[in-house]
């Protein structure tokens, strides 16, 4: 559902130079934020453990002059700035890191380890740029507070936990994000994500679907354990699970209508304890991606059918367990609001404002807008060193650049941070009244 929001005519009419003058004049000294970024990168926190990061963001907002509400849906928080009557804009950043052993060689590389949700000791790394998201929003909050004479309305700066679990946005909504606090509901929800598929200094935006829906499944198939030398007396769950993995690959290639987009990936397969023991069960974990709700249902129904049929065909002693690991809808940029913001981006960033190609990656960002039926806009922020990106482009090796979730993922600090700060501030100014 698209909701038209009230936009002041003067906001639409503002020239590139007006935006540039405001942002250039009120942009804070980024040296502090560069240091903050290094600190956040050096001390990442897993999903649902973002206590330190949340505290840093909250303290910063309080020091600036925002009204801050903490511990929403975990370590989530919002900073609210009321500035006369006008639209309400929400800017969002996610905070959590990943269980990845960093291999960037940076002098501020993470050496952190933590216990994951299963109690396993794991390395921790900001391998998806959430440290940059937090830093950019902190700086943008400062800029917009200093520039409050140039806009009217209410600004909400939201720092979200557990995006990597695609659960943090819903957790904040369920914990009363839009009902517990005396804060107006936003007219538009805005956010960004750093990707090294673009060079630093670039922003990329388009309307419609920009990131896929995601569904995660955990599957346990059962067999009958026994001695590896006597498989005829057992029912091997590894064989059952292997057939399932192979059969799943036919869903997209043989069942999905040509032209429709879907991804079914088995990223985890665990079974057994020794080479000569047939185990009692095998575990699979899947990620499923789609842009269309009908395709999403088709993929999930096919997975359920294949898993159950393979178990029946192999005489599995009991029905498989199929458990959801979470889901998030596709991120769909609202047409009117995207068009308006794109005009601002094209004017301000000029040749560094690009059209965004939809990505099969997923986000729970849009839940913050869907929960209250308001439009949202999400854009990409380039992070790759421009010199390295140009070299890779020239040599046809863009695919060799370490991307998100890689142990070598290392966005260059500048101009990534400055571009991210400017983009957030520009987006807020585009929609706030004057």
**Residue 429 to residue 126: CA distance in whole angstroms:** 29
Active-site residue, from 50, 94, 131, 163 = 163
- Is 339 an active-site residue? no
- Is 255 an active-site residue? no
Listed in sequence order, the residues at least 6 apart from 261 whose beta carbon sits closer than 8 Å to its beta carbon are 212, 289, 290, 291, 292, 295, 360
What's the token pair of residue 97?
């890191």
Active-site residue, from 94, 96, 131, 310 = 96
DSSP 74-121: TTEEEEEEEESSS-EEEEEEE--BBS----S--TT----EEE-TTS-E
**Residue 399 to residue 185: CA distance in whole angstroms:** 41
DSSP 269-314: EEE-SSTTEE-SEEEEEEEEEESSHHHHHHHHHHHHHHHHHHHHHT
Rounded to 10 degrees, the C-alpha dihedral 137/140/144/147 comes to: 170
Mark 161-199 as b/e (b = at least 16 C-beta within 10 Å).
bbbbbbbbbbbbbeeebeeeeebebbbbbbbbbbbbbbb
What's the token pair of residue 152?
């009217």
Residue-level length of the chain: 434
Residue carrying structure tokens 């404002």: 353
Residue 268 β-bridge partners = 285
**Residue 157 to residue 138: CA distance in whole angstroms:** 8
Cβ-contact 204, 106 below 8 angstroms: no
Listed in sequence order, the residues at least 6 apart from 342 whose beta carbon sits closer than 8 Å to its beta carbon are 205, 207, 353
User: How many other CB atoms sit within 10 Å of the CB of residue 315?
Assistant: 10
Nearest to 4 by CA among 318, 287, 334, 313: 334
User: How many other CB atoms sit within 10 Å of the CB of residue 15?
Assistant: 9
Cβ-contact 7, 89 below 8 angstroms: no
The residues assigned a catalytic role are 96, 163
């Amino acid at each position: 559902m698209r909701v038209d929001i009230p936009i002041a005519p003067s906001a639409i009419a503002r020239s590139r130079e007006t935006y540039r003058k405001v942002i250039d004049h009120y942009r804070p000294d980024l040296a502090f934020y560069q240091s903050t970024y290094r600190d956040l990168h050096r001390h990442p926190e897993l999903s649902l453990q973002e206590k330190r990061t949340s505290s840093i963001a909250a303290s910063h907002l309080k020091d600036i002059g925002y009204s801050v509400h903490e511990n929403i849906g975990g370590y989530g928080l919002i900073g609210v700035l009321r500035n006369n009557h006008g639209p309400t804009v929400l800017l969002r950043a996610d905070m959590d890191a990943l269980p990845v052993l960093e291999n960037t060689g940076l002098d501020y590389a993470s050496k952190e380890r933590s216990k994951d949700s299963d109690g396993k000791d794991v390395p921790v790394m900001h391998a998806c740029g959430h440290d940059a998201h937090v830093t950019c929003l902190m700086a943008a909050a400062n800029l917009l507070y200093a520039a409050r004479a140039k806009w009217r309305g209410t600004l909400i700066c939201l720092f979200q936990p557990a995006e990597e679990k695609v659960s943090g946005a819903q957790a904040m909504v369920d914990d009363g994000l839009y009902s517990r606090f005396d804060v107006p509901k936003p007219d538009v929800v805005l956010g960004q994500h750093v990707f090294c598929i673009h060079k630093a200094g670039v922003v990329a935006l388009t309307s419609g679907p920009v990131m896929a829906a995601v569904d995660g499944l955990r599957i346990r198939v059962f067999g009958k354990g026994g001695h590896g030398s006597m498989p005829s007396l057992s029912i091997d769950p590894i064989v059952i699970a292997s057939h399932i993995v192979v059969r799943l690959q036919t869903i997209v290639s043989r069942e999905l209508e040509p032209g429709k987009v879907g991804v079914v990936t088995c990223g985890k397969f665990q079974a057994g304890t020794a080479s000569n023991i047939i185990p009692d069960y095998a575990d699979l974990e899947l990620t499923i991606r789609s842009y269309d709700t009908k395709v999403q249902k088709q993929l999930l129904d096919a997975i359920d059918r294949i898993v159950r049929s393979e178990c029946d065909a192999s005489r599995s002693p009991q029905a498989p367990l199929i458990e959801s690991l979470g889901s998030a809808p596709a991120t769909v940029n609202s047409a009117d609001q995207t068009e308006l913001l794109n005009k601002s981006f094209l004017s301000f960033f000029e040749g560094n404002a690009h059209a965004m190609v939809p990505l099969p990656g997923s986000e729970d960002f849009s839940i913050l807008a869907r929960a209250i039926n308001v439009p949202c806009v999400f854009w990409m922020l380039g992070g790759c060193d421009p010199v390295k990106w140009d070299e890779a482009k020239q040599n046809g090796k863009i695919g060799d650049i370490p991307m998100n979730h890689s142990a070598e993922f290392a966005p260059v600090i500048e101009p990534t941070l400055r571009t991210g700060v400017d983009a957030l501030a520009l987006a807020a100014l585009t929609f706030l009244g004057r």
